[in-house]
């Protein structure tokens, strides 16, 4: 999935915008991502992708902290 790929089609939110919410603003739940970007606040079918992305970014962050 590329950075500019739309992750939430309802609200036209890109993967990059969701990653910024997680990395820069420390969003750690789908609700927090939704408050910051509106992703996942429509039909909610993208929430699993958002949850997976949160988990992925948190794991990467943990690896960087221990390196």
CB of 25: closest distance to ligand FES in angstroms? 18
Cα 26 from Cα 23, distance rounded (Å):
5
Which stretch of DSSP H or E encloses residue 18?
A: helix 15-23
Length of the chain: 67
Residue 26 or 45 with smaller CB distance to ligand FES: 45
Question: Residues 22-61: x/- map of binding to ligand FES (CB under 6 A)?
Answer: -----------------xxxxxxxx---------------
Query: Does residue 10 bind ligand FES (CB under 6 A)?
Result: yes
The percent of the chain in helix, strand and coil, each rounded to the nearest 5, is 55, 5, 35
Q: Which residues sit at the interface with ligand FES, rule CB under 6 A?
A: 8-11, 39-46
């Amino acid at each position: 999935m590329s950075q500019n790929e739309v992750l939430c089609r309802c609200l036209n939110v890109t993967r990059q915008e969701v990653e910024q919410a997680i990395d820069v603003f420390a969003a750690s739940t789908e609700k927090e991502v939704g408050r910051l970007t509106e992703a996942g606040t429509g039909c909610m079918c993208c929430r699993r992708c958002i949850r997976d992305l949160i988990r992925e970014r948190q794991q990467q962050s943990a690896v960087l902290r221990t390196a």
